[in-house]
Amino acid sequence: MASIFTRIVNGEIPSYKVAENENYYAFLDINPLAKGHTLVIPKMEEDYIFNLPADVYAGLWEFANKVAKAIDKAVPCKRVGVAVLGMEVPHAHIHLVPLNSESDLQFSNQKLSLTKEEFEQIASNIAQEFLSL
């Protein structure tokens, strides 16, 4: 069965898309630690990020680098933090989280509750910056 993230890539489940190319997809985390919390995934279905083929793995980080730069421009923050967990969804992904302090990257923190309009606005702002890079 397709993973929930593959279903997002295929448009079967809606997402707030931030960026996409042939092999990778980036979208807002639905339970964000901060405004602009983004997930970057390979379209290839593989549970564990460190089991990705070397070229897909390298390309994922290259794509995430560009997405992080777009987040940096679109979201007020000191810098963008990175985390890889995969404890919940068995489809490799990188978390990019705008940070103002170290504690902003604690996954035990209370998640933000944003409106559809807020998600749409944030995704659109990041997407616009991504396209201008």
Shortest Å, Cβ 14 to ligand 5GP: 8
CB-count exposure of residue 109 (10 Å: 0-12, 13-18, 19+): exposed
User: What is the Cα–Cα distance from 26 to 38, expressed in whole angstroms?
Assistant: 7
User: What is the Cα–Cα distance from 85 to 132, expressed in whole angstroms?
Assistant: 30
- The answer to whether 93 is a known catalytic residue is yes
Residue from 37, 91, 93, 95 carrying the catalytic annotation: 93
Q: Is 131 one of the binding residues for ligand 5GP (CB under 6 A)?
A: no
Beta carbons within 10 angstroms of residue 108's beta carbon: 6
Where in 28-67 is the site for ligand 5GP (CB under 6 A)?
28-31, 39
Contact segment (CB under 6 A) with ligand 5GP among 58-66, 67-75, 82-90, 124-132 equals 82-90
Q: Is 10 one of the binding residues for ligand 5GP (CB under 6 A)?
A: no
Q: Is 88 one of the binding residues for ligand 5GP (CB under 6 A)?
A: yes
Among residues 52, 56, 89, 99, which is the contact residue for ligand 5GP, using CB under 6 A? Answer: 89
- Both tokens of 89, joined, read 């969804």
Among residues 27, 36, 60, 71, which is the contact residue for ligand 5GP, using CB under 6 A? Answer: 27
Question: Phi and psi (nearest 5°) for 93?
Answer: -160, 155
Question: Phi and psi (nearest 5°) for 7?
Answer: -65, -30
Catalytic residues: 93
